[in-house]
Amino acid sequence: MLTGRQAAFVREFVACGVAKHAAIRAGYSEKSAEAQAGALMKNPRVAEAIAKGRARLEERTNVTGERILLELARIAFSDITQTARIVQRKWPNGKTYMAIEVVPTDQLDEHERAALSEISEGKQGLKVKQHDKVKALELLMRNKGMLEKTPQIIPQGDGTLVVQFVPAAGSAPAPAAPAPTGAPS
């Protein structure tokens, strides 16, 4: 059984995900909040209550790790040419010019729509903007542990390249790369 403040901490932590803030909102002083939060997070009853609270929240909101990764992947691997295209048009005098043609949203699939952050009309026409692909890729790479590793490109004797990810500087010593096929020893 949790105390009143422990239960309040659990409720607040499930809602915000930041232990120190949850401790303050649960009534612990700002000065001791970090230490209290650390102790609460180590308490098995509190940890169990947090896990149950998160499971209930996940069920109610349908916000799962899988769904978050899917949304990031939609942004990271989106193609702007699926929503706006550069097309060649003709003036009445027969000369050609380049124009931007926006694909109607009812013709976009759910993945393409998810990648859009803004559709607006301004002085110069329609504006179509996508979410930040680089940030989405970074978050996906962090999730896969790829940011702790550095790509190493190793030429092979048959002209192909092999990419291996080795620990980044400062994380662990990188293993020695195999010598390329046909290279002198």
Residue ranges, comma separated, of all CATH 1.10.10.1400 domains in the chain are 4-61
Sign of CA dihedral 62, 64, 70, 75: positive
d(CA 86, CA 99): 6
**What pLDDT does 173 receive?**
47
Tell me the Ramachandran region of residue 183: left when phi exceeds 0, alpha when psi lies from -120 to 50, beta otherwise. Answer: beta
Longest CA–CA span in the chain (Å) reads 82
Torsion angles phi and psi, residue 126, rounded to 5: -80, 145
pLDDT in tens, the chain (185 residues): 999 999 999 999 999 889 999 999 999 999 999 999 999 999 999 999 999 999 998 888 888 888 999 999 999 999 999 999 999 999 999 999 999 899 999 999 999 999 999 999 988 888 889 999 999 998 998 888 777 777 778 888 888 888 877 776 655 444 444 444 444 44
Cα-Cα-Cα-Cα torsion 144, 150, 151, 152, nearest 10 degrees, comes to -140
**What pLDDT does 185 receive?**
41
Helix (H, G, I), strand (E, B) or coil at 52: helix
**What pLDDT does 181 receive?**
46
CATH 1.10.10.1400 fits 4-61, yes or no: yes
